[in-house]
Structure 1
Amino acid sequence: MYLAVFVDMLGFGVILPLLPFHTERLGGSGVWLGGVLTAYALAQFVAAPVLGALSDRYGRRPLLLVSLAGSAVSLALTGVAGSLPALLAARVVAGLCGGAIAVGQAYAIDLAEPGERTRALGMVGAAIGMGFVFGPAIGAALAGLGFAGVSFVAGGIALANLIAGVVLLPREVRPDAKPAQPPRRRSANALATLVQAVRLRALRPLLGAVFAATFAFAGMEATYALLGARQHGLGPSGLGLVFTGVGVVMAVVQGGVVGRVTDRFGNRRVAVTGAVLLGLGLVTLPYGPAWLSYTALAVLATGQGLLAPTTAALIAQAGGGALGGVLGIGQSASAAARAVGPIAAGAAFDAGPATPYLLGAALCGVAAVLMLQHNRGAEVRPDAEPAEQAA
């Protein structure tokens, strides 16, 4: 399952280095590029709770396979897109399939021992992170094929991933495991799931924390190229190495560290620590020499690596039986932040290069406070009915 997620993100990441240039060749302005990038996040915002709720009803494996098939289709459509509207539509299809990250998270929880669920979520995060590390590097190496050629290669990778998924993905949870959700059928209505989730007192601060922290991190991703070029003379290759390093740190933390520290300190404490580290990295980033900037990037990558799987684990615990739907709501909160965060950060950067990072650090403080409100008394037993948890 982790391999399926990794290869899916790998195929998606392959086209990213060429996407801005292809948009420009089609006559797109900066607004169009922003629209193409934002369309993915907005589509993911809509699709995540739908796919999660459908996986609660029909099972994780079928929904994950449908998503893998959709990824292959979206990449093929991206390759043949000869106009800006066609390219935008292809990215919408990709975002709709990208909403299945919540399905992968729920799948990992279903297959994990109860005490290993945060570790399993960390492995999902590591698979996603490494896909984004290696994908753009492969895309850059294949740039000579042209945008269409690279897109078709990525589509071929996605198709191979689908075939491997049909053969290799487990058909059911461990026979000795108690299902993470009751077996009866649940509503797949995304709006009903959203309303139900927001009514959970234990979930509200977590969704706010996810939005705030993701907003901060997405703002850094959107503006660091400008900051690095101004302060340290970084060009495209240097920036590529920097972001590769950030991705590797996050993957190592999620894949090998987070499970160990949560075993000792618990999800909530580790999540708060992650928010604090992310904030410290952001507030330090725009100041000082290059070595301090790179150290700050390592610190904030560590914080994000700790934060993502632990907040997902807390959301899964707070959501009770509707595991896929609730994790989908968490992905929607993250997607919403990724849709608006880069735009807001860009405007803040125009006001002053340090402004988006100071704003992000403040939002990390908000995220930490929100997670501190999610105390043990507010957490619910994993098998509780959503109606029992409503405010």
Structure 2
Amino acid sequence: MPDRLKSAQRVVTFTIFLDLLGFGLIIPQLQYYADAFHATPAFIGVIQAIYSLMQFLFAPFWGRLSDRVGRRPVLLVSIAGSAVSYVLFAMARDAQMIFLSRLLAGITAANLSTAQAYISDVTPPQERTRAMGLIGAAFGVGFILGPAVGGVLGAWGGNFAIGMAGAALAGANWLSAFLRLPESLPTHNRRQQGEWYTFPLRDLPRVLAIPHVGLLALVLFTAIFAIANLESTFVLLAKHRYGLDQRECGYLFAYLGMMGAVVQGGLIGKLSARFGETRLLLGGYLLQAPALLLIPLMPSTGWLMAVLAVMAMGGGVAGPSLNGLLSKLAPADRRGEVFGVTQSLGSLARVVGPAWGGWSFGHLGMSAPYVTAAMLMLIADVMVLWWIISAVPAVSASSE
């Protein structure tokens, strides 16, 4: 790969890292500050949900827009908007201002679809799974460091310090992209026709109709729905089943992030070259299904950590493999649209998944969300098997 393209790939990966670092600064503190500003429990829930809802609505917009005008201007505008959202959080003196900051943050953070399309533009097909793994690793490292730094800043200077630190990171992110990020989508590959935005559920049928892409998009939704059951109930399970406190739960989340970052940042390229994306996708979900089922059943925290490591490794190989396959199958002038819709589906899964996980945990028992998650992972694996039977020849041809 030419040095210019390697440099662009590093800049985009750094952009995502800074995005997630800023995201991690705020997320663990949201409930605390919303409560301090006398928000009702219901409104605190709305504040948490609005971010994913805005991603659901706006990911297709950013993706489609980048197909029309190019990736660089979309990334620059969305990063600048992210900086404004952090300033709003810093200046917040009531829960309504926090709500507004999270609404704007969700709109601008939907640019992940554009970053994924950019990586696909500048990376040869045979190296895209490794590149998508680096994106996943940037996610993991940013989310590990963010909560720790946010806790220190919050203790020192409250929401003002946290918000201004996030704004400074976004400003550095914008400057890096402005100076070092060339346009990746040539004019002749840009989409010349079609709407700039449609409601996500209207756009979905068009993406599902792209040969061999639709089933993979549904696989992504199913897998994220499964993991959202864990994300929304794990702290409660750790407290009531394993007797862990808030600090120890934070360590476990950091441990999960580190395991995923090691696999996605260091191993996925070699594994992909040896086994191929389809086998890694299938194997990743096969690892995650039994691990999810066993999480509430372990006799000790040590065994729990072992099961979590298996789950993290499965997710570490499955996620980049799925995105690598999508990048190969999406037409060059529709990559932004495809990644926009898949990101939108992922956001929708993170809205409805926690709702089911929380309800089933409270009404059906502590194991219920994990049984659901394991079943969904097995369903995703069956869908992958069906996709392999019908689509592998097409993927092989697109990689040549």
TM over 0.5: yes
**2:368 counterpart letter in structure 1:** T
Distance 2:174 2:313 in 1: 32
1:79-132 CA deviation, whole Å, 9 max, x = no partner? 223333332222111111111111111111112122101111111111122111
Q: Is the 8 A contact 1:123 1:254 kept in 2?
A: yes
Q: Is the 8 A contact 1:280 1:299 kept in 2?
A: no
**1:49 counterpart letter in structure 2:** P
Distance 2:53 2:329 in 1: 25
Q: Is the 8 A contact 2:21 2:145 kept in 1?
A: yes
SS of 1:170's partner is coil
Q: Is the 8 A contact 2:128 2:327 kept in 1?
A: no
Matched residue, 1:388: none
SS of 1:353's partner is coil
Q: Aligned-pair distance for 1:297?
A: 1.0
**CA gap 1:355/1:92 in 2 versus in 1, 3 angstroms:** same
Matched residue, 2:168: 156
Matches within 5 A, 1:98-109: 98-109=109-120
Matched residue, 1:19: 30
Matched residue, 2:9: none
Tell me whether 1:135 sits opposite 2:146 in the alignment: yes
Distance 2:131 2:168 in 1: 28
Among 292, 297, 309, the alignment partner of 2:308 is 297
Matched residue, 1:345: 357
Runs of 4+ that moved beyond 6 A: 381-384
Greater Cα shift, 72-81 or 330-339: 72-81
The answer for unaligned runs of 5 or more in structure 2 is 1-11
Matched residue, 2:8: none
Matches within 5 A, 1:1-391: 1-144=12-155, 145-172=157-184, 182-187=189-194, 188-191=196-199, 193-288=203-298, 289-321=300-332, 322-350=334-362, 351-375=364-388, 377-378=390-391, 380=394
Q: Is the 8 A contact 1:274 1:306 kept in 2?
A: yes
**CA gap 1:169/1:382 in 2 versus in 1, 3 angstroms:** farther
**CA gap 1:383/1:276 in 2 versus in 1, 3 angstroms:** closer
**2:81 counterpart letter in structure 1:** G
**1:314 counterpart letter in structure 2:** L
**1:185 counterpart letter in structure 2:** Q
SS of 2:247's partner is helix
The answer for unaligned runs of 5 or more in structure 1 is 174-178, 385-391
Give me the TM-score of the superposition, normalised by structure 1.
0.92
Q: Aligned-pair distance for 1:320?
A: 2.2
Give me the TM-score of the superposition, normalised by structure 2.
0.90
Distance 1:56 1:152 in 2: 32
**CA gap 1:186/1:81 in 2 versus in 1, 3 angstroms:** farther
Q: Is the 8 A contact 1:43 1:96 kept in 2?
A: yes
Distance 2:382 2:397 in 1: 27
Distance 2:210 2:137 in 1: 29
**2:232 counterpart letter in structure 1:** A
1:323-367 CA deviation, whole Å, 9 max, x = no partner? 111011111111111111112101111120111001000010111
Distance 1:366 1:80 in 2: 46
Q: Is the 8 A contact 2:144 2:258 kept in 1?
A: yes
1:257-302 CA deviation, whole Å, 9 max, x = no partner? 2222222222122111111212121111001221111111111111
Distance 2:293 2:188 in 1: 41
Q: Is the 8 A contact 1:276 1:368 kept in 2?
A: yes
**2:192 counterpart letter in structure 1:** R
1:174-229 CA deviation, whole Å, 9 max, x = no partner? xxxxx799345243233464331022351222122111111111211111111111
Q: Aligned-pair distance for 1:43?
A: 0.5
Distance 2:93 2:229 in 1: 30
